Structure formats: C-alpha cells, structure tokens
C-alpha cells in the first residue's frame, strides 16, 4: 500500500499547476513567493521549491531578483509543441497497436463522448474527452518516458487555445479524423494508425508537414 504522503513543496506545486492550467494565474502574471506562502499557511522555502519544479516544466520563468512569472506561450511555441506532439503520438500509436488490437472499448467510449460534444459545439467537454482519448493511447504505448514527455508537452500547448484555432465549425470534422485512428488501432494496424494520427495533429494544428 504505497500511499505516500507528499511534501509541502509537492502539494504547492500541484496547486500552482492547477491554477496555471485553469487560468487562475494568467500568462505573464507574477507569482510572489511570500504572498503564496501566506495564503497557503506555509513558509517561503516550500513555495520556492515548487517554483523550481514548475520552472523545469517550462510553465513559469524565473529571473534572479526579479521573481517568477507564468510563461507566455507564443504562437510560434504553440506550433513547436504541436510538431513535437505529432511525432510523440505517432510513436505511441505504433507501440500501442498490438496491445489495443481488438481491445478499444475504452477508446470508443471516449470517442463517442467527444463526438457528441462536437455536435453540440461544447468545447470544454470536447476537450476533456479528446484529451482522455489521446492519453489512453499514450498509456497503452507503455513507455513511461514517452508518457511523461507527452504530458508536459500537452500542458505546454494549452489545448483550449488549439481548439479555438480549429473553431466550432470544424469540430466534428476534427473528431471524425480520430475515428480513422481508432479503426486502425482496433485492427492492430500500427502503421496506419500512426500515420493518421500524425496527419490529424499536423493538419488541424495548422502545420504544413
């Protein structure tokens, strides 16, 4: 029963992470150590450690004596992360295909949910299940490093911004493209799945490759 407690620093990290992702802290906003420490009834040291984690995750930037800010992700960086994501997911499809052959019930369930949301133009729900769909594939690939890099890249390319770019009109089309991947995986055809996945990410994220 490895229920491990976690240090204050880790808890602070989790909280700050959540707040950065849900937009409580906006891009560019300063994170003031003593303010956070006081709010969370702790001291400066654990907060600083938490910020070092987030810095390594590229979610915040720190300059000596100037403090820490939520990183502003530029359009260019968003493109960069989509490029990287496309090959990470391509690899995941190849690796996951054998395991998912004839075993795609969970994937199908998520696909149903995001297709439903797509028809209703419900971005939030769409995003939730789309991400879950992709994460299932990443997990099935059974490569810890791949998964952990993917998680951090997905954080970087805040999904909602990508969806905004795709636009409500194309949401169904975008969802449909996922079904091709799903079919290929169901058949265990990693080659097709990985190609389709890469195309889907590149196409809808506006990459030319």
Partner DNA sequence: TGATTCTCGATTATCGATAATCGATTTTTA
Partner DNA sequence: TAAAAATCGATTATCGATAATCGAGAATCA
What are the residues binding DNA (CB under 7 A)?
Answer: 7-9, 30-35, 41-46, 48, 62-68
Closest CA to 193 of 104, 75, 62, 80: 104
Closest CA to 29 of 15, 38, 19, 14: 19
Residues from 46 through 75 that contact its own copies (CB under 8 A): 48-49, 52-53, 55-58, 63-64
Contacting its own copies (CB under 8 A), which of 22, 41, 124, 144?
Answer: 144
Please report, for residues 5, 127, 154, the alpha-carbon distance to residue 87 in angstroms, rounded to integers and kept in the order given: 35, 20, 13
Give dist(CA 102, CA 136) in Å, integer: 15
Among 15-23, 29-37, 146-154, 165-173, which window interacts with its own copies (CB under 8 A)?
A: 146-154
CA angle 140, 108, 115 (to 5 degrees): 125
Nearest distance in Å: CB 52, its own copies? 4
Q: Is 115 in the site for its own copies (CB under 8 A)?
A: no
Q: Which two structure tokens, joined as six digits, stand for 204? A: 């809808």
Give dist(CA 165, CA 3) in Å, integer: 41
Which of DNA, its own copies, none does residue 77 bind to, with CB < 5 to 8 Å depending on kind? its own copies
Which of DNA, its own copies, none does residue 149 bind to, with CB < 5 to 8 Å depending on kind? its own copies
Nearest distance in Å: CB 35, its own copies? 19
| Nearer residue to DNA within complex by CB, 25 or 114 | 25
Please report, for residues 16, 35, 53, 97, 186, the alpha-carbon distance to residue 130 in angstroms, rounded to integers and kept in the order given: 24, 36, 27, 18, 18
Residues from 167 through 196 that contact its own copies (CB under 8 A): none
Query: If you ran DSSP here, which 8-state letter would residue 169 be given?
Result: G
> Which residues of the chain form contacts with its own copies (CB under 8 A)?
4-7, 9, 45, 48-49, 52-53, 55-58, 63-64, 77, 80-81, 83-84, 86-88, 90-91, 94-95, 143-146, 148-149, 153, 156, 209
């Amino acid at each position: 029963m490895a229920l491990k407690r976690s240090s204050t620093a880790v808890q602070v990290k989790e909280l700050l992470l959540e707040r950065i992702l849900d937009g409580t802290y906006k891009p560019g906003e300063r994170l003031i150590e003593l303010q956070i420490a006081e709010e969370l009834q702790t001291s400066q040291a654990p907060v600083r450690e938490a910020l070092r984690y987030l810095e390594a995750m590229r979610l915040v930037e720190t300059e000596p004596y100037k403090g820490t800010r939520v990183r502003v992700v530029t359009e260019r960086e968003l493109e960069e992360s989509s490029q990287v994501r496309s090959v990470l997911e391509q690899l995941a499809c190849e690796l996951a295909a054998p395991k998912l052959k004839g075993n795609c019930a969970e994937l199908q369930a998520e696909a149903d949910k995001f297709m439903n949301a797509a028809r209703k133009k419900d971005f939030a729900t769409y995003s939730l299940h789309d991400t879950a769909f992709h994460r299932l594939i990443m997990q099935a690939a059974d490569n810890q490093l791949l998964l952990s890099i993917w998680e951090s890249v997905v954080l970087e390319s805040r999904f909602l911004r990508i969806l905004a770019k795709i636009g409500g009109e194309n949401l169904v089309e975008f969802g449909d493209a996922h079904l091709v991947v799903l079919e290929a995986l169901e058949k265990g055809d990693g080659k097709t799945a990985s190609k389709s996945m890469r195309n889907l990410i590149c196409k809808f994220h506006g990459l030319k490759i």
